[in-house]
Chains A and B, each alone.
Chain A
Amino acid sequence: MGTMRILDHTGDTAVTWDLDDETTLRVAEEIFEREAAQSKMAFARPMGAPVEQAERIRSFDPAAEEIIWVRPIQGG
């Protein structure tokens, strides 16, 4: 079971998938592509692990325990 967390006005929206469930995998991969197309950045980490263990990923990793999507940044 993996979880994708997309930062938004609710804090974040969580999307989960199950390695044994093809439908949830497909949906999660589609959402990954959609977020990537918005130039957002994805980081995978073991569930709940500190930032030192977070790694930038550029393609959907079904084995990831937790993926956090953050927005592009700009000068304020």
Chain B
Amino acid sequence: MIPSLHLVEDIPDWGALVEVVGGEHHGARVLLVPAARVLPRVTPAPSRAAGPRHLVRLTHQGLVTAHDSRRAEADRRAEGLLESLLDDDQREQWRSRRRFSVRTPYGIVELGRVSHLRFDDLDGGHLVLCVVPLRSSELPPADIWTNLLLVLRGEPRRFFDVANYCVPGGRWHRGPVPLPHPSPVPPLMATISG
């Protein structure tokens, strides 16, 4: 394949940031071509308004793409929302272990580990659950826990109805999860100390 150059960003007065497609130039895949070496109108530059642009910026850690920046911003926003919903104990658990416990009318669910949600029911039983929001791969991780936390708050029965479950190390089963009778005094949500 013959390498070609893909315009990443034109930087007024500096030149053009280009990506080497199909090869490298002295080990680099992104180059800054000084303005003095860019021939005017050799190839039409894409309009700034046309299509998605893949902006990059250089930092001392290396190349940071706009995609990385957007993802970091999404993660930061999702973390903020999740932490705003947690009480002090849950927030402490989340920050130290990236997991937190949620009390439900049926027992305690630990959120924070995808496909492996520990559930301790009121009768002392212990199961592993797997529940996810639809199209969860689109969401920043903290949003997944915000989603499940709110469902446990408002529709706990639905959570256990759809969850797949297994005893630790055992075979997975489709929901609904076998549940004990709900707590007669349901403090819908509370935390336990980690």
Q: Which residues of A line the B interface, CB within 8 A?
A: 5, 7-12, 41, 43, 48-52, 54-56, 68, 70-76
Contact = CB atoms under 8 A, between A and B. Distances in A.
7 contacts: A9-B138, A10-B70, A41-B150, A50-B86, A56-B153, A56-B155, A71-B133
Given A72-B133, A73-B132, A74-B162, A51 B175 contact: no
A33 B149 CA distance: 23
A44 to B, nearest CB: 10
Interface of B: 70, 73-78, 80-81, 84-87, 114-115, 130-136, 138-140, 142-143, 146-151, 153-155, 158-159, 162-164, 174-175, 188-190
A68 B158 contact: no
B74 A43 contact: no
A10 B73 contact: yes
B74 A10 contact: yes
Contacts of A55: 154
A52 B114 contact: no
B9 to A, nearest CB: 22
A70 B151 contact: yes
Given A11-B81, A72-B133, A76-B164, A51 B86 contact: yes
- Secondary structure type dominating chain B contacts: helix
B151 to A, nearest CB: 6
Nearest to B172: A75
A43 B131 contact: no
A9 B72 CA distance: 11
A59 to B, nearest CB: 14
B75 A11 contact: yes
Given A70-B133, A75-B131, A54 B151 contact: no
Nearest to B81: A12
Contacts of A56: 153-155
B53 to A, nearest CB: 17
A51 B149 contact: yes
Contact of A74 (B78, B132, B139): B132
A14 B175 CA distance: 33
A55 to B, nearest CB: 7
A38 to B, nearest CB: 9
Contacts of B70: 10
Contacts of B73: 10-11
A48 B85 CA distance: 7
A8 B73 CA distance: 12
Given A11-B75, A12-B78, A54-B153, A73 B158 contact: yes
